[in-house]
Amino acid sequence: MDVTDVMDVVVGGGVVGLAVAWRLAREGRPVTVVDPAPASGASHAAAGMLAPVSEVTYTEAPLLRLGAASLRRWPSFAAELAADAGLGDPARALDLRADGTLDVAFGADDLAALDELAAFMEKLELPVERLTGRECRRLEPMLAPSVRGGLLAPGDAWVDPRRVTAALLAALHRLGVPLVRARVAGLLRDGDRVTGVRLADGPGGTGLQESGPREIGPREIRAANVVLAAGAWSGELLDLPVRPVKGQIMRLRSPQPLLGRCVRGMVHGAPVYLVPRGDGELVLGATQEELGFDTRVTAGGLYELLRDARELVPGVTELEVADMVAGLRPGTPDNLPLIGPAGVPGLVLATGHHRGGVLLTPLTTDLVLDALTAAGGGARETETGETGELAELCSPRRFQETS
Ligand code: FAD
């Protein structure tokens, strides 16, 4: 590989890194992705809910703003991606659906909590509808008879993240973007400036996409800009407040779809959700565990997911288990992502997306493109308007200033 013509290097090929690279390539910027195992991290585990409204919590209003702005971008993002990947109808190709999320409650306490949440959402002028238990079951006949009420967020959507990353890899291939299957061991620096990446020794080496492993090539890739999108592992390459938050999740197979929309609820004090796919698959998620880089699938995780999901939809226990995986969400102290200039010339961050990386991907590509354009002396979209405010919310500076 001729390294001199590489302009931007994206470290990490999860949904965030692949989408950023695709967006840069579409803008005509030469870009290379480096990842030893693309699309195998949190993005492989994710349920794919695009649910800023039903995920809202009392303390996360900024996250709601980011999520809502990104959800608005999803239809055009999906259409452009499907076209570049050579797929047909984007909704079918990516299993993108916008049929809403139904949050349900069982006991009197749950119902009171849901009422409070509804009042909070209405204050924020979010489009939600309160439903009785009967209305919930009319929408979703497979719900447990004990469901006493619900809250419908009709604008929430979902997508199959595995289809999204597969489409991104196909689009990158068609655009001729090199994918180097290697681990980045460190950043190259020239004085203050980041000038590229150093690759780890060992198997994987460097090799261009789809051509299989090659003989060891150059151990360094020089770049005008490095975009760090290594998910939960980002803190291994730079001193960043990003930590792994483990999530176990199960996929069940059903001859016909059990649900028409995403269903969520609190069971035994823990949130559980069920996400239906177009092909009849039903996703049950997810645990939240602070266990470092542990990705073991445990009997306890499996038990809790099934026990809680069965409370909401008793029929789940009849279904065939398709797979169970654990992924590592890239968590940050304030649950907001780190997107934008890292404070070091030549380095831009696109990490820390925690529970919402799939939802936040389209917005992230805009913010990274703006940051790189600004770094090259170009006009920066984010200096003004809504996007500017969103960029501020994600700015890595918020931690540098307080440390
Ligand atoms: P990842 O997908 O983890 O990708 C990081 C990549 O970096 C990996 O491919 C890895 O191989 C690579 N890498 C690591 N170190 C290096 C290195 N040194 N050199 C090169 N490459 C490296 N989000 C939603 O929006 N909706 C959901 O419903 C949802 N559900 C979830 C359910 C579960 C169980 C989990 C775990 C997460 C869920 N998320 C959800 C969160 C979402 O999955 C993440 O926020 C998102 O996938 C982060 O994407 P990423 O590309 O930053 O990270």
Give pLDDT tens digits for 265-297.
Answer: 988 778 899 999 999 999 999 999 999 999 999
Q: What is the pLDDT of residues 58-79, one digit of tens each?
A: 788 899 999 999 999 999 999 9
Task: Please report whether residue 127 resides in a domain.
Answer: yes
Residues 36 and 167 in one domain: yes
Q: What are the backbone angles phi and psi of residue 72, rounded to the nearest 5°?
A: -60, -30
- Using the mean position of ligand 1's atoms as its centre, give its distance from the Cα of residue 42 in Å: 3
Number of domains the chain is built from? 3
Pair 311, 363 in one domain: no
Residue 226 lies in a domain: yes
User: What is the whole-number distance in angstroms between the Cα of residue 377 and the centre of ligand 1?
Assistant: 31
pLDDT band for position 3 (50/70/90)?
very low
* 70, part of any domain: no
Q: Residues 335-352: what's their mean pLDDT?
A: 97
> Could you tell me if residue 22 is left (phi over 0), alpha (psi between -120 and 50 degrees) or otherwise beta?
alpha
Q: Is the pLDDT of residue 8 over 70?
A: yes
Averaged over 94-120, what is the pLDDT?
Answer: 90
What residue type is 213 in one-letter code?
P
Judge whether 62 lies within some domain: no
Residue with tokens 């789940």: 316
**pLDDT recorded at residue 230:** 98
Dist. CA 231 → ligand 1 center (Å)? 5
Pocket lining for ligand 1, CB < 6 angstroms: 11-17, 34-38, 40-43, 45-49, 183-184, 229-233, 237, 247, 249, 285-286, 327, 329-330, 351, 353-359
Any domain includes 95:
no
Q: Whose CA is nearest to atom 18 of ligand 1?
A: 184
On whether both 255 and 308 belong to a single domain, the answer is yes
Q: Are residues 178 and 225 in the same domain?
A: yes
Using the 3D structure, point to which of 121, 154, 187 is the last residue of a domain: 154
Distance 230 CA to ligand 1 centre (A): 8
Domain co-membership, 228 together with 363: yes
The b/e string for 284-312 (b: 16+ C-beta within 10 A; e otherwise) is bbbbebeeeeebeebeebbebbbebbbbb
Does pLDDT of 133 surpass 90? yes
Q: What is the mean pLDDT of residues 83-92?
A: 97
Number of the ligand 1 atom closest to the C-alpha atom of 184: 19
What are the distances in angstroms from CA 316 to CA 107, 282, 320, 323? 21, 9, 9, 14
Radius of gyration, CA atoms only, the chain: 21
Q: Do 264 and 186 fall into the same domain?
A: no
Pick the last residue of a domain from 331, 357, 385.
331
Structural domain range at position 206? 3-45+163-241+335-399
Is 320 part of any domain? yes
Same domain for 37 and 177: yes
Nearest to 291 by CA among 266, 326, 323: 326
My answer on whether 20 and 122 are in the same domain is no
Structure-block tokens of residue 273:
């959700």
Q: Choose the final residue of a domain: 134, 154, 174.
A: 154
Please report the pLDDT score of residue 106 as a whole number.
84
In terms of domains, do 220 and 172 share one?
A: yes
Return d(Cα 396, Cα 393) in angstroms, integer. Answer: 9
Average pLDDT, the chain: 91
Q: Which two tokens stand for residue 29?
A: 């910027």
Q: What percent of the chain has pLDDT over 70?
A: 92
Q: 362 and 228: one domain?
A: yes
Does residue 179 sit in the same domain as residue 298? Answer: no
Phi first, then psi: what are they for 278, rounded to 5°? -60, -30
What spacing in Å lies between the alpha carbon of 293 and ligand 1's midpoint? Answer: 13
115 CA to centre of ligand 1 in angstroms: 33
Tens digit of each residue's pLDDT (9 = 90 or more) over 14-57:
999 999 999 999 999 999 999 999 999 999 999 999 999 988 87
- pLDDT mean over 222-231: 97
Q: Are residues 353 and 323 in the same domain?
A: no
**How does residue 209 score in pLDDT terms, banded at 50, 70 and 90?**
very low
The CATH number that applies at residue 300 is 3.30.9.10
Lowest mean pLDDT among 80-84, 151-155, 268-272: 268-272
In this model, does residue 124 exceed pLDDT 90?
Answer: no
Whether 81 maps to a domain, the answer reads no
Q: What's the average model confidence in pLDDT over 147-160?
A: 95
Strand partners, 272: 265
> Which residue is closest in CA terms to ligand 1's atom 32?
46
